[in-house]
Amino acid sequence: MSAYYKDALPRGYELAEYTIEAVLGHGGFGVTYLARDRQLGTQVAIKEYLPHDIARRKGQTNVIANADDKTVVTYRVGLREFLKEGQALARFKHENIVRVLRFLEANGTAYMVMEYEKGESLAQYLRHNGPRLDQAALLRIFLPIMNGLHAVHQAKLLHLDIKPENIYLREDGNPMLIDFGSARQALVGPGQAHAVALTPGYAPVEQYPSGGKQGPWTDVYAIGASLHRCICGKRPIASTERHQAILRYEPDPLPPALELGQGRYPNYILGSIDWALRIHANERPQSARELQDALMGKNAGKHVQAATPAVFNTSRTTTQAITPRVLPPVRRPSARASRTRRRSPARWFAATLLLGGVGAGAVLYSSQVQTLLPTVMNYVRGLTGQQQKPSLDSHESGKRAEASHPSNSVSDSKIARREQPSPRRARMAPDQFDGPPRPATTMAEPGLLLQAAPARTLAGHKDWVYSVAFSPDGTTLASGSYDRTIRLWNLRTGTNRVLRGHGRSINSVAYSPDGRWLASGGDDASVRLWDAVRGKLKRKLRGPDYAVYTVAFSPTSDRLAAAGKDRTVFVWDTHSGDLLYTLEGHSNDILAIAFAPGGGILASAGADKGIKLWDLNSGRELATMLGHKDVVLALAFSRDGRWLASGGAKDMLKLWDPRNARLVRNFHDVDHSVLSLSFSPDSKWLAAGGAATGVDLWYTESASIAATLQGHDGYVHGVAFSPDGTILASASRDHTIKIWTTR
């Protein structure tokens, strides 16, 4: 039991009424001793404050800070926090929290005297009995631990270092939390190496310096990480590594518990673990009690359920899988030729532009059709490389791709369709997709070109701009930003009005086709309806409980749809604000929705990699189209209803025939994640913004790239054509909106 440590107090040393007998353990911030109370004859555990990076033992007993003014201050701050922790814990008497008997100051430092009980840590137990726990042992240990943690949080305290090493199992199996880490956190400051102040794998991003606000949710992440360790046998991947992978639009490197524990644990337990391990604090359970209830299957909610069947006004149908028909690929130029075009100094494209427009993160406006296709942001705020934010707390919220490791490719993709009683189902009622009749000519003015350089830069937002939408008359552009504001830009003068009201990032904005309304959705779980002319808030719509990532009006303006982290599409009556129905069926966050031009079909997609088509007239899920290898981030219907474009992570850009849920072709030579999409009014051109600084312009029929418009200094989250097709707007992380015009 005794361990050697060079800076430990000598055996037999008398500290007040206690005699040191052995070293139980030591770490970066102190030493824990086994001691005997000479008056009572009982054994106790004594924890000494000794942060070895900034302090040392002088002689056999005294502790002094290293000779540096800044270090001395840091040492004293940590000592003060250590004493405060001891005082607070001394008031506790909870069977699942280590019992502090007293605290004292001596030798230039402080000591915390605790009850000593025989047993071993959970980490030791796992080493001796196998790396995993079964369901019974998992709940027998962690449910009581969360009782104790709940009591700690009610006392306005945090543990900040929960891990298997700090979960102690008494001889009778009853667990308790030991070794609180709040004093460690006090030592993390400028110039301090923070690696020893927390445990990678168990600490969430907000626990790192400048990482964001800490709270009960911080300990919840550590509990989730400890649970994950107990079902898979390995320490979880560090939250910072997950954070950076998500910023690069790569899959989360931490395999979800729902995959690792499938068949060995109930889905509600596995889903609860994944919920606790969300990167963003506001996406996790907000208390130990909430996570505890979920682990017991109580009110597990949408976050911890496995995939559920679609629900439309409570009607349910069954699903069967069929083999898709994939059209032969269109002959396209070589990758080398494509790259050559990207480097061309001209950087312009000849486009035939018609009236109307479809946008990702914007609205298609004509007398009969409108589509909103969302601009989907990254899931954890911040950037890598030259785009890196200076600190994590500058973006404490946002979105992340919680996609599992992909296994499908296009060649073996499948389409899961709902059974239908009518033979019309085979082609999904084409009139539901069709927009207004196409003009006799498909050519606009001869020689109509987009300028290679932006005609104007709209600057005013103080943070990333996620979404743009044109008003029906094309005179105003709305933009939504992480800075919690909507700006209405007068495109003639460049001036803007600011709309405020959201409490967090605004992820999506949309104009109604009749021009009366502007809708916005954000991380504050709200959908707001504004008077588009006066810029006044009309109402806040009820329904979502979690972040809203995308909003869209129907072509007739009488319906407004929104979706996000609830995994549900909400549809309201625009005029009354009544919630008409919900569409449930996605098993993960919904990141993009779009109405087909005919108005009867709604498409939705997201982190579960599937694209669902919903019949809003019959209330049925028509099909689930599979083929994306990772999260789907953007959708766009062409004006004529012939195409549905989808873009996402892993350099994926696909074109579908929505009438029969058929994959038409893949766009090759895509070299970054696609975040936003917009068809030109004649559907010949597809603009794509993504995890790069340019806007790619693709020729739809051949899936070949025509040009890349350069001008931004950050990822492009939103693109939108104006109603008359003469303007393309793009929104970026560089806080600006670029306006590209025709010559």
Residue 49: closest CA among 21, 15, 17: 15
Residue 419: closest CA among 313, 310, 327: 310
Residue 359 lies in a domain: yes
The confidence score (pLDDT) of residue 122 equals 95
- b or e along 108-130 (b: 16 or more beta carbons within 10 Å of the residue's beta carbon)? bbbbbbbebbebebbbebbeeee
Q: How far is CA 500 from CA 18, 478, 524, 715, in A?
A: 62, 13, 13, 25
Count of residues making up the chain: 743
Sign of the CA dihedral running 123, 126, 132, 133:
negative
For the CA atoms of 294, 296, 297, 303, the dihedral, rounded to the nearest 10 degrees, stands at 20
Residue 404 lies in a domain: no
The confidence score (pLDDT) of residue 3 equals 61
**Do 317 and 204 have their domain in common?**
no
**Do 294 and 349 have their domain in common?**
no
Distance of alpha carbon 32 from alpha carbon 498, whole angstroms: 57
Q: Give me the long-range contacts of 533-538 (CB less than 8 A, separation at least 24).
A: 535/488, 535/497, 535/499, 537/499, 537/501
CB 417 within 8 A of CB 320: yes
Strands 517-522 and 415-418: unpaired
**Do 82 and 138 have their domain in common?**
no
Domain end point (choices 269, 304, 339): 304
Residue 59 lies in a domain: yes
**Do 31 and 43 have their domain in common?**
yes
**Domain at 550, CATH number:** 2.130.10.10
Residue 579: closest CA among 587, 567, 589, 571: 571
Number of C-alpha atoms within 13 angstroms, CB side, residue 713?
Answer: 10
Radius of gyration in angstroms for the set of CA atoms belonging to the chain, rounded to a whole number: 29
Strands 685-690 and 415-418: unpaired
**Do 217 and 363 have their domain in common?**
no
Distance of alpha carbon 307 from alpha carbon 609, whole angstroms: 13
Domain end point (choices 273, 304, 335): 304
CB 92 within 8 A of CB 151: yes
Domain that holds residue 36: 14-115
The confidence score (pLDDT) of residue 182 equals 53
Domain end point (choices 115, 147, 166): 115
Helices (H) and strands (E) in the chain — how many of each? 10, 45
CB 34 within 8 A of CB 13: no
**Do 87 and 204 have their domain in common?**
no
**Domain at 81, CATH number:** 3.30.200.20
Quote the number of domains for the chain.
Answer: 3
CB 559 within 8 A of CB 569: no
Sign of the CA dihedral running 111, 115, 120, 121:
negative
Residue 666 lies in a domain: yes
**Do 155 and 256 have their domain in common?**
yes
Distance of alpha carbon 570 from alpha carbon 543, whole angstroms: 7
CB 574 within 8 A of CB 594: no
**Domain at 181, CATH number:** 1.10.510.10
**Do 158 and 259 have their domain in common?**
yes
Please list the rounded mean pLDDT of every run of 10 residues in the chain (743 residues): 73 94 84 93 93 86 84 86 82 86 92 91 93 94 94 87 93 89 46 54 89 90 97 94 84 91 93 94 92 83 40 32 31 33 33 31 29 31 32 37 34 33 37 47 40 90 95 96 95 94 94 96 94 94 91 94 93 93 90 93 94 87 92 94 93 92 92 93 92 92 90 94 92 95 74
Residue 441 lies in a domain: no
Amino acid at 433: F
Distance of alpha carbon 197 from alpha carbon 207, whole angstroms: 9
Residue 397 lies in a domain: no
**Do 294 and 345 have their domain in common?**
no
Number of C-alpha atoms within 13 angstroms, CB side, residue 373?
Answer: 37
Angle, vertex CA 324, rays to CA 321 and CA 329, nearest 5: 160
- b or e along 683-701 (b: 16 or more beta carbons within 10 Å of the residue's beta carbon)? bbbbbbbbbbbbbbbbbbe
CB 361 within 8 A of CB 508: yes
Tell me the β-bridge partners of 48. 31, 111
Residue 173 lies in a domain: yes
**Do 32 and 132 have their domain in common?**
no
Distance of alpha carbon 714 from alpha carbon 548, whole angstroms: 23
Residue 730: closest CA among 684, 683, 685, 697: 697
Distance of alpha carbon 420 from alpha carbon 135, whole angstroms: 41
* DSSP string for 310-333: -EETTB---EEEEPPP-PPPPP--
With a CB cutoff of 8 Å and minimum separation 6, the contacts of 699 are: 684, 685, 686, 705, 706
Residue 362 lies in a domain: yes
Using N-to-C axis directions, what is the helix angle for 135-154 and 216-232, rounded to 10°? 170
**Do 48 and 150 have their domain in common?**
no
Q: Give me the long-range contacts of 485-488 (CB less than 8 A, separation at least 24).
A: 485/461, 486/518, 486/520, 486/530, 487/458, 487/460, 487/461, 488/518, 488/535
**Do 217 and 342 have their domain in common?**
no
Q: How far is CA 712 from CA 241, 394, 454, 676, in A?
A: 27, 21, 9, 15
